[in-house]
Structure 1
Amino acid sequence: MTRYSYLDLINLCDNVHIPVNGQATGFDAERLVPLYLTESVESAIIGLLRPVIIEQLKIENDQSRELGREALWDIRVEEDQYRMLKSGRVGPSVHFARWCDTPGKRTEAMRELCERWRDTGLFDDVCGLRKWRNEKYAVYADPFGRHDYPDEGKEEREMNFVFEMERSACALFGVVTYGVHMSIYGEGVDGEGKRELRVWVPTRAKTKQTFPGLLDNTVAGGIASGMGVFESLTKECMEEASLEAEVVKKYARAAGAVSYFYRTSKGWLQPEIEYVYDIAMPGDVDPRIFTPSPLDGEVESFELMKQDMVIEKLRAGAFKPNCGLVLIDLFVRLGYIVPDDEGDYMEITSRLHGRFRYEFW
């Protein structure tokens, strides 16, 4: 049986390597092209594009011109050095065409594109009919900046929000996505007087589009466009675990975030930030109010699992990869993983909070 170390588990999830110098192999050898928002030298980079996507965007432009429409993409991947320097941008790049210059226009353009790809089965393993989530994710100019959303009282030029797109298609464009994860746990002492941790662990439904049947964090879900982080948490708590909003609001505590750059087995790019929350069950409160139970069909069952069993399942690869990272982060914060006992402690703690090597995009 495979037995992963904590660092192995991080490597399984944070598995994209952007080479700066030297040789790369496999998917890492692909030439990834930055997706800029606009042609401006000061434009934000909002994603990374694989060669297969670059070729498809060229086809999309050709088809638009044949239909008498303006092309959506400005693609600069084969320009000579003089033109690159003249534009002020060194290296290949792609950005939205000048006409597509507002969040609303970009959102509509991406909606039409992604729905057409869905209906034609072009990238069926990512955003085909069976993978389609019918949920919008927000894309931000600064992926590490504020989560805002258009409203009547805010000028679009003041926003970090730049457009929204279908959740399942985000990996095709390598944009940063966001989620929220919460652990409900209790601490006590075992028969030998040692600290003992128990965590509520769900089993994902076998009908889930991703990672069916694997173990998960107590509550977890993506943050839909326009929703706040804590709003998303309370929504997921009720939908997945039947936990009342009043309980979550009273007892849940923000505990930071984990971030990682995940590449799927087919090579698609998923840089993700997961906001982390805890509920530490108080000893003087009825534990039944913290007991989760399935509601929306995304979870098969919940188990209040001892730490030794959680670790055994983790090291056997039974958890969804990013959920393993959230649990490792929990163990670090509670002092169950400590530098004197874990030789990879500094590598582990730094990798839990990475920036996707964004400076090299």
Structure 2
Amino acid sequence: MTKKILVVTNGFYPENSPRSFRATELAKELARKGHRVTVITHPRPGVATFCSQNGITFKSLGNLTWASPKVKGVGVIRLFTRIITRFSQLLLEYPKIQLVFLVKKALKTERGYDALISVAVPYPIHWGVASIWSKKIAKVWIADCGDPYMGQENDSFKPLFYFGWVEKWFCKKVDYLTVPTENSIGGYYSQFHPKIKVIPQGFRFEDIQLYQGEKDNSKLVFGYAGMFIPGRRDPSEFLQFLNSLSSAIPFEFHIYTTTPQFVLPYIKNTSRIVLKDLVPREKLLYELSKMNFLVNFENVGNTQTPSKLIDYLIVDKPVLSIKYGQLNEAVVAAFLKNDYTSQMVLPDKNNYRIENVAAKFVALIP
């Protein structure tokens, strides 16, 4: 039966981020299955054309206009501006808190949907829906969450206590909370666990082109794609070990990241650790599919699962998983000899097929 579905999201095509992929792939598949899909998101270049080509109705959320504090200056001045920037985020969720007002305004005239799916992060997307939510907008509200908010384990700082009241406020209003893994459930207040449904990230595998040519056997090439977090998803021990290896060992470690500052100190005297420019996801998967194996830097705790593991699963390569503070040099050495006995065990690929993921969302709609 055809459903009328509204998706509200900060991240969407052509943004290159895990939550953008989540919202974009879901909207495309829902429309492909014949549902009437409307997406409210920022008016990025090309988004209206993309939606039209995929049978999606696009409505503008407006742009984020509140200026982000900038880290600038040197010495004490730079330290001061860094503190101001960080505390504006911690105390007020500034500038992303503007999303509350943008979402509330965008939903004022929306009525008669079978379902509203709000996609976070950032969580002010959910808060904006909660500020105006009524069953006149939709029969059911599904709040799709990536990493937990109050229960997050891998940021340098926890959200301040009063945001717990905000989380409980919005969770009371929502009909369902969807999370990517069973482990994610522990990141939410226990009274809302009955509302939680596990729905993994999803992709249309048929749209992904992988490398089919011959591999270069003159050197071992492995890679990582994702951000780094000091003391958590931290590459320092691994990079130090790679730099300690004999120059006679032919390898290249290719790194695609938005946090290159945690890699730069380790590449000054080597050409074997290579920082790469960021590329669109389709191109990234193609490049990763050329490699011998891939690297995962583990999060702290169990509630947050790196979305890159789904990409690794799609390209079907052995995965070397590194836990900060517990580097197993023997396992790394084995991987460098094409011995993947200790590779990370990944789940069934079919869990992440977008057709299966979309069906789980539709099953929640009355």
Same fold (TM over 0.5): no
Normalised by the size of structure 1, how large is the TM-score?
Answer: 0.26
More strand by share: 1
Normalised by the size of structure 2, how large is the TM-score?
Answer: 0.26
Higher relative contact order (CA 8 A, sep 6+): 1
